[in-house]
Amino acid sequence: MKKVFSIIISCLFILLLTACTKQERKFVRIGDLNFARAGHQAIILRNGKILILGGYTRNYDIVKEIEIYNPTTKKFSLVNKRLDNGFNNALLLRNGNVAIFYNNGVVIYDPIKNKFNSLKKMLIPRTNFSCILLNNGKILIKGGLTNTKNQIPVTISEVYDPITSSFKYVNNDLIKNYYEEPYYLKIIHNKNKMHILRTNFLSIPLYNGKILIVGGFDKHGKYVFKSEIFNVKTKQFDFTGNMNFCFTEYYSANYLYPVNSENILLTGKDINHYKTMNAEFYNINSGKFTQIKNKIFDRLYPSVNCIKNNTYLITGGSKQNYTEDDFIKPYKDAYILNFW
């Protein structure tokens, strides 16, 4: 009798464990954006709200309306300001404000006051430039093309100081020594210590102080499935799990800051099926990658953000397998993904 009872208990435990495993990931539809968009930015503000701006319309025009998502009310609301022409990108500053960069300068948004300052012009107007938030709070502006008809490549870099609200020229050779580097530049300068030398990889800062290195191409041009962990203190690389997919583009959160989550969500375009999107997550504790199969990820260019531990916000994106005649079909829907 005891043996039978023991078998029954074991079976119940297995069923319970199976049920829990099935509920490991849960998608919840939370509503719609006010404007359909794909390829947009979603910035997590200090108050927990998410600022949503940019992205493209069906006609491949920039969406100028700015929205804010409130996790408490689960509502999307419009901000009383539209983007101007020439929007490039936006970055969260150390003081909690947001720097919105245009081709000719920057506008600072104060979420507390809900106020946009007037445009501060940069020294060299440019398009398609890169913005790097340095550890000293300043922003490095690199590259791009001149904002002229000929569009000549810009070789001079400049730095924006949010405190003085001023731009200053900077010598590229002095950047490494003069400015404290963000984590991803530290990776670049230590990449020769990697077990697998790779290019075009993604580096993700984790809440435990380490950095996850995923993807990229090896010296033979082949995609790297093996991932590594970089220890910032020891400057050593160690192997971790293998990815299931090879991505040519990542649509996950803009990993400029440490991700406060045990599960790191990775979404992107499959290199073997260029117009197909796949998703998987990396568990920090187990060091394993697990594929996620859900129709929500059957889209290109959504915004995916970790809003708290094991919780992600997924907004917008466009229909897959678009053609040249119908380049983009943006979505308005939004979802929360919870890991249990």
Sequence letter at residue 276: T
What pLDDT score was predicted for residue 192? 62
Note the pLDDT tens digit of each residue in 282-295.
Answer: 999 999 999 988 88
> 224 to each of 53, 107, 219, 241, 291, how far by Cα in Å?
33, 39, 10, 12, 17
With contact defined as beta carbons under 8 Å apart, do 303 and 314 qualify?
yes
What pLDDT score was predicted for residue 16? 38
Q: With a cut of 50, list the residues of the chain below it in pLDDT.
A: 2, 4-5, 7-23, 174, 176-181, 325
> 239 to each of 81, 213, 281, how far by Cα in Å?
47, 9, 17
Phi and psi dihedrals of 26, rounded to 5?
Answer: -130, 125
What pLDDT score was predicted for residue 17? 38
What pLDDT score was predicted for residue 7? 45
d(CA 141, CA 132): 7
d(CA 205, CA 306): 13
Note the pLDDT tens digit of each residue in 53-70.
Answer: 999 988 888 999 999 999
In sign, the C-alpha dihedral spanning 63, 64, 69, 73 is negative
3-state secondary structure of 13: helix
Strand order in the sheet with 311-315: 25-32, 333-339, 311-315, 303-308
What pLDDT score was predicted for residue 164? 95
With contact defined as beta carbons under 8 Å apart, do 27 and 337 qualify?
yes
3-state secondary structure of 193: helix
What pLDDT score was predicted for residue 151? 86
The backbone region for 18, taken as left when phi is positive above 0, alpha when psi lies in -120 to 50, beta otherwise, is alpha
DSSP string, 221-234: SPBP-EEEEEETTT
